[in-house]
């Protein structure tokens, strides 16, 4: 999702929104110069020096906080003789693919979530400007090979590119590690804040997701309408991630119909009236302690999702103090959390990876409760009862599991992230196989 606010928007005092060829044309007319977050290239060649130069440009911008690189705009001269002019290029899929290939092969570590957009000239169809959006990278510093064979880290300095010195590289690594520590602390704090409010007679699925590139706090607050659209969108993303291309009438499709339902749909009766919180929107049934599906959508892009894990009353009657955790409900929680995080990031135009954490919690109505994994006992299409998984291990607490959603808009990546979260939770119980996402199991 290309950023709706760039140096071009700022220079032209343009409203937030997608970058267009018309805006680039206005920037050329206004002679908007290059800056630390804006770089022009007259053409994208395919020779070796040009590939090395593009790799340097991408890494330099990522190391300087991100920005926009426009291929098809030329800058010539300096000072009073500086001129900006059009240099439209042919917009081909190969042109986009070359950017991603250079990033993958020549930049270390790879810059996650670079986006490429073709801005077609209405007067010259098939030609125009290639816009490359480089995010502020949480993995900085990024390195490339210089012509002398040395691995070095470039950085934008105004309209120029410089090489970081040893002390600056040391500081960049320190900043990266500090970001990771701050991210972990924020994940933990958000998770514990919600954990303290949960109650009831059922165990819980609790998940938290935080983007690696949070939304700036100075931007306008998200609206209630965005929240409503996000929950609706998350249900759709959840469904497509789980079902993929499974035919409804197939054996696998019938199994999914029996076991799966988007967990976020538990909120559909009350998400239409989200409540304001401290720099967040809260979706819940009522005030006070939480005993039903619950979500928080923070203004910086963070997401919380919790929902209770009910079990068969007959099974509960056999072990009154046990917290029974159904395998498929953990999968449903994982897919819902990932989908909600992706939909919120999409709504807020946040790009880049999202850190995801999840766990299962025992019931809150008694001081201690061992958790056991359960699964349905079936006969053909019918569910007979719920039984404790034979290999399950009784646990009073679980480790919090962590994963990274690298591309929130990619169905396969959302699914793979949900699978990892679900497996890491359930493997702690000794459960080997998933029920809903089982084809990912060996």
pLDDT value of position 168? 93
Cα gap 270→227, rounded to integer Å? 12
- Whether the upstream peptide bond of residue 357 has omega within 30° of 0, thus cis, is no
258 versus 124: which is more confidently predicted? Answer: 124
List residues bridging with 67 in a β-sheet: 134
Question: pLDDT (tens digit, 9 = 90+) per residue, 377-401?
Answer: 765 556 567 888 988 989 999 999 9
Q: 244: left (phi > 0), else alpha (psi -120 to 50), else beta? A: left
- For the segment 86-90, the average pLDDT, to the nearest whole number, is 90
Over residues 309-332, the mean pLDDT reads 88
Q: Domains in the chain and their CATH numbers?
A: 7-164 (3.30.950), 178-440 (no CATH)
pLDDT tens-digit map of 193-246: 989 888 888 999 999 999 988 887 777 899 999 999 999 999 999 999 998 888
Question: Which residue's structure tokens are 């340097």?
Answer: 56
> Please, how many CA atoms are within 13 Å of residue 320, restricted to the half-sphere of its CB?
1
Mean pLDDT of the residues in the chain: 88
pLDDT confidence tier of residue 332, bands split at 50, 70 and 90: very high
Give the per-residue pLDDT at 186: 86
* Residues paired with residue 378 on neighbouring β-strands, in sequence order: 383
Distance CA(42)–CA(87), nearest Å, equals: 6
Residue 253: pLDDT over 80:
yes
Output the DSSP codes for 307-358: EE----HHHHHHSTT-EEEEHHHHHHHHHHHHHHHHHHHHHTT--S-EEEEE
What's the confidence (pLDDT) of residue 368?
82
Whether cis (ω within 30° of 0) applies to the bond prior to 437 is no
* pLDDT tens digits, 108-165: 999 988 889 999 999 989 999 999 999 888 889 999 998 888 899 999 998 889 999 9
Q: Which residues of 294-319 are buried (b: 16+ CB within 10 A; e: fewer)?
A: bbbbbbbbbbbbbbbbebbeebbeee
Residue labelled with tokens 């997701």:
209
Which tokens in the block code for residue 185? 């602390």
Evaluate if residue 41 carries a pLDDT over 60. yes
Rounded Cα distance between 368 and 195, Å, is: 15
pLDDT for res 421: 96
Q: Looking at the predicted structure, is the pLDDT value of residue 442 above 50?
A: no
Dmax over CA atoms of the chain, in Å, equals 85
Model confidence at 441, pLDDT cuts 50, 70, 90, reads: very low
């Amino acid at each position: 999702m290309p950023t709706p606010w760039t140096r071009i928007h700022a220079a032209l005092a343009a409203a937030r929104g997608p970058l267009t060829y018309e805006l680039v044309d206005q920037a050329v007319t206004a002679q908007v110069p290059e800056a630390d977050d804006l770089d022009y290239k007259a053409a994208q060649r395919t020779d070796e020096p040009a590939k090395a130069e593009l790799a340097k440009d991408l890494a330099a911008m990522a190391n300087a906080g991100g920005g926009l690189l426009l291929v098809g705009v030329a800058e010539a001269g300096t000072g009073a003789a500086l001129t900006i002019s059009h240099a439209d290029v042919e917009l081909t899929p190969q042109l986009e693919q070359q950017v991603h290939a250079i990033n993958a092969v020549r930049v270390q570590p790879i810059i996650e979530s670079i986006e490429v957009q073709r801005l077609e000239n209405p007067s010259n169809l098939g030609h125009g400007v290639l816009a490359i959006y480089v995010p502020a990278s949480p993995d900085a510093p990024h390195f490339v090979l210089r012509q002398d064979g040395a691995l070095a880290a470039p950085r934008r300095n105004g309209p120029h590119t410089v090489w970081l010195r040893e002390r600056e590289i040391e500081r960049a690594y320190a900043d990266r590690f500090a970001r990771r520590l701050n991210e972990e602390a924020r994940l933990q704090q958000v998770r514990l804040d919600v954990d303290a409010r949960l109650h009831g007679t059922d165990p819980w699925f609790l998940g938290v997701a935080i983007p690696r590139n949070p939304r700036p706090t100075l931007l306008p607050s998200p609206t209630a309408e965005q929240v409503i659209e996000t929950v609706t969108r998350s249900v759709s993303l959840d469904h497509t991630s789980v079902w993929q291309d499974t035919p409804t009438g197939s054996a696998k499709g019938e199994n999914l119909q029996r076991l799966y339902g988007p967990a976020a749909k538990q909120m559909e009766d009350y998400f239409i009236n989200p409540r304001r919180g401290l720099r967040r929107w809260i979706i819940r049934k009522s005030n006070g302690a939480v005993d039903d599906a619950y979500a928080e959508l923070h203004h910086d892009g963070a997401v919380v999702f919790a929902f209770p894990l009910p079990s068969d009353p007959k099974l509960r009657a056999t072990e009154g103090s046990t917290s029974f955790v159904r395998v498929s409900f953990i999968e449903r929680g994982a897919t819902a959390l990932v989908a909600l995080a992706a939909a919120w990031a999409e709504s807020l135009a946040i790009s880049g990876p999202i850190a995801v954490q999840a766990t299962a919690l025992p019931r809150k109505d008694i001081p201690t409760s061992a958790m056991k994994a359960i699964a349905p006992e079936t006969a053909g299409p019918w569910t007979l009862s719920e039984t404790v998984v034979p290999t399950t291990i009784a646990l009073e607490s679980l480790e919090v599991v962590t994963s990274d959603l690298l591309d929130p808009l990619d169905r396969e990546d959302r699914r793979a992230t949900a699978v990892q979260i679900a497996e890491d939770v359930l493997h702690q119980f000794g459960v080997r196989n998933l029920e809903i996402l089982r084809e990912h199991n060996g």
